[in-house]
Chains A and B, each alone.
Chain A
Amino acid sequence: MIEVKNLTKQYGVKKAIDNISFTVQDGEILGFLGPNGAGKSTTMNILTGYISSTEGKALINGIDILDEPIKAKKNIGYLPEQPPLYLDMTVKEYLNFIYDIKKCKLPRKAHIEDVCRLVKITDVYNRILRNLSKGYKQRVGLAQALIDNPQILILDEPTVGLDPKQIIEIRTLIKKLGKKHTVILSSHILSEIQAVCDRVIIINKGVIAADDTTENLTSKITTDHKLIARIDAPKEEALKLIKTMPGVISVVADMEREKGVYDYEIETKEGTDLRRELFKRIVSRNWVLLGLKTNEMTLEDIFLKITMGDSVVIPKEDNSKTEAVQADSNNEINASDNAADETQNPEADSTEENTDGGEE
């Protein structure tokens, strides 16, 4: 069990996290969601004893990480944002070193082999870490956290840099681990949190903006009131048709995808499901509906929504300027590491959505 009480970390005048409190029960998978710089890593670094808090307490199984760091750390496996790999070692040497440094008592060879099998790095076991791909490095990082079978796993963006297949594998693995371990994982990818976690804490600018179960939060924040329809029809007429439908707030035609085919972005009033009605109308005019999907809310939308009324405002224009934040807005795309394909090849779009949907 992890208890965090009024945790504050101050760097000079800036508060990286401000009075954060939460509890994670045994066997729970908690997701930390937030944009870059929100305080996710800071919180995790405090929980693992890497840095200290300015104020407040972090208890690991009832042990204060500052009072008895060694005892508390024995219960934690940590995968930092950048896997802490000694690049000149082989996977074998590295995991053996971790085994030693964690003073692990489990049978050495069998345990390390088990962990390797679990994260699927057995085939690179004798290779030097420097030469491994990002995905493998990430998995070795995960293996490192799993050595000594710690009760609590703290994973900072565990799926960054993995390909879609690996992402699914790692998510499945984390879910599996969640049955025996208490897991905290951070991400700026909403779908990942939705797929894996029981509970979500949204952090923004160092404060907890929301703390709820995944279902509650999802139903609260992803009311599908944005649609994207790809229709083969005369543009002006289609626009006119959609505009006249009940519940439509606005409609915009995107660039021409194929000859005579446009993407129409439709915003409706909340709670209106336009899809069936739209389909019927299009068919009745002998047009062709080539694609229809709900435009899931981006992280920024959710933040705006959850932190509405607070001082937290993330203007859209600003987001496009900074790469870091933009990466968040493209979170769905980043998840599949296919940002380039996505923009160049609209066809890939729909297939990708399918894989994403299938796995959730």
Chain B
Amino acid sequence: MGAIFRKEMRTYFTSPVAYIFLAAFYLLTGFFFVNTNIYGATTDMTAVFTGVFGVMMFFLPLLTMRLFTEEKRLKTEQCLLTAPVSLIEIVFGKFLAATVVFLLGMAIYVLYIIVLVGLAGSVAMATIISTLVALLLLGASFISIGLFFSSLTENQIVAVIISLCMNVVLYMIDVLASKVSFVPIQKAMISLGFYNRYSEFTSGILNVTSIVFFLSVIAVFNFLTVRVLEKRRWS
């Protein structure tokens, strides 16, 4: 797993992918931060964190689209799948690499918080920490979804578009739920929605159900990716 993780990290940083991702992430979150907190002269970061949901939804598929599509297209997966490593190690190594790049993006929040503390003296630390936990879970969920779709196709564009659609669906599903009159389905749709759960965190509530929910999403999609690789051997 270590080998695959290191290889993916290397690929991220020897190609423009990681740099562009990080630059875009810093730029957009910086924009939210400056606009809301500096010009608005407030320590309330809720708006900043709300904005970043959209950024992650659109940008994380760009990090994951390459991970399996290129292996398949260049036939390098033959090298991975005939090496004495398990499929779980392969999938998890890649998942971890994308997550670490994402964490590097998140790290910018430390800077924002330091700036706020410097300017205002204090911030609502509890809210910020619970939001950062949420961001981490949310990001890892988007990454596992993206990874799954990249294992399904040889085409990066296809992978990125499908992952994006999936993310948007998970974002919009609670909005759609209000239009469904059949209660059990409505309930199911609401419980699948990412956004409500996420905004709960941004108001400082660490809801265990939601934490378990996001962890399950991560586990399920990584598991499905393993199954896709496994299934290909059998087809």
List residues of A whose CB falls within 8 A of some B CB: 11, 45, 48-52, 69-71, 73-74, 76, 78, 80, 82, 84-89, 93, 97-98, 100-103, 144
Closest 5 CB pairs of A and B: A100-B3, A84-B79, A73-B84, A48-B82, A74-B84
7 additional contacts, CB 8 Å, given A69-B84, A74-B84? A73-B84, A78-B82, A84-B75, A84-B76, A100-B3, A101-B83, A103-B84
Contact yes or no, B82 A87, CB < 8 A: no
Chain A residues whose CB sits within 8 angstroms of the CB of B217 once the complex forms:
none
Contact yes or no, B6 A100, CB < 8 A: yes
* Interface residue? B157 (CB, 8 A): no
Contact yes or no, B84 A50, CB < 8 A: no
Contact yes or no, A82 B80, CB < 8 A: no
List residues of B whose CB falls within 8 A of some A CB: 2-4, 6-7, 10-11, 14-15, 74-86, 232-235
Contact yes or no, B84 A102, CB < 8 A: yes
Residue of A nearest to B74 (CB): A87
Choice from A69, A84, A89, A102 contacting B78 with Cβ under 8 Å: A84
Q: How far is the CA of A52 from the CA of B234 in the complex (A)?
A: 5
Q: How far is the CA of A270 from the CA of B185 in the complex (A)?
A: 81
Chain B residues whose CB sits within 8 angstroms of the CB of A49 once the complex forms:
81-82, 233
Q: How far is the CA of A244 from the CA of B232 in the complex (A)?
A: 63
List 10 interface pairs A-B (beta carbons < 8 Å), by A numbering.
A11-B235, A50-B233, A73-B83, A80-B75, A80-B79, A80-B82, A82-B75, A84-B77, A97-B3, A100-B6
Chain A residues whose CB sits within 8 angstroms of the CB of B6 once the complex forms:
97, 100
Contact yes or no, B85 A101, CB < 8 A: yes
Shortest Cβ distance from A285 into chain B, in angstroms?
59
Contact yes or no, A102 B75, CB < 8 A: no
Q: How far is the CA of A302 from the CA of B14 in the complex (A)?
A: 51
Choice from A45, A51, A70, A84 contacting B84 with Cβ under 8 Å: A70
Shortest Cβ distance from A14 into chain B, in angstroms?
13
Interface centre among B15, B77, B84, B234 (most CB of A within 10 A): B84
Q: How far is the CA of A352 from the CA of B178 in the complex (A)?
A: 79
Q: How far is the CA of A86 from the CA of B77 in the complex (A)?
A: 10
Contact yes or no, B82 A101, CB < 8 A: no
Q: How far is the CA of A48 from the CA of B233 in the complex (A)?
A: 11
Contact yes or no, B86 A51, CB < 8 A: no
Residue of B nearest to A74 (CB): B84
Q: How far is the CA of A102 from the CA of B83 in the complex (A)?
A: 6
Q: Would A73 and B82 be within 8 Å (CB), given that A82-B75, A88-B11, A88-B14 are in contact?
A: yes
Contact yes or no, A70 B86, CB < 8 A: yes
Choice from B3, B7, B81 contacting A50 with Cβ under 8 Å: B81
Choice from B15, B77, B85, B233 contacting A70 with Cβ under 8 Å: B85
Q: How far is the CA of A70 from the CA of B75 in the complex (A)?
A: 20
Q: How far is the CA of A86 from the CA of B81 in the complex (A)?
A: 14
Chain A residues whose CB sits within 8 angstroms of the CB of B86 once the complex forms:
70
Chain A residues whose CB sits within 8 angstroms of the CB of B77 once the complex forms:
84
Chain B residues whose CB sits within 8 angstroms of the CB of A69 once the complex forms:
84
Shortest Cβ distance from A301 into chain B, in angstroms?
33
Shortest Cβ distance from B79 into chain A, in angstroms?
4
Shortest Cβ distance from B19 into chain A, in angstroms?
15
Residue of B nearest to A97 (CB): B7
Choice from A51, A86, A98 contacting B233 with Cβ under 8 Å: A51
Choice from B15, B75, B85 contacting A88 with Cβ under 8 Å: B15
Shortest Cβ distance from B82 into chain A, in angstroms?
4
Residue of B nearest to A12 (CB): B235
Q: How far is the CA of A346 from the CA of B181 in the complex (A)?
A: 83
Chain B residues whose CB sits within 8 angstroms of the CB of A76 once the complex forms:
82
Q: How far is the CA of A103 from the CA of B85 in the complex (A)?
A: 9
Q: How far is the CA of A49 from the CA of B14 in the complex (A)?
A: 31
Contact yes or no, B84 A80, CB < 8 A: no
Chain A residues whose CB sits within 8 angstroms of the CB of B14 once the complex forms:
88
Q: How far is the CA of A20 from the CA of B126 in the complex (A)?
A: 66
Chain B residues whose CB sits within 8 angstroms of the CB of A11 once the complex forms:
235
Shortest Cβ distance from A286 into chain B, in angstroms?
61
Q: How far is the CA of A123 from the CA of B33 in the complex (A)?
A: 52
Contact yes or no, A101 B3, CB < 8 A: yes
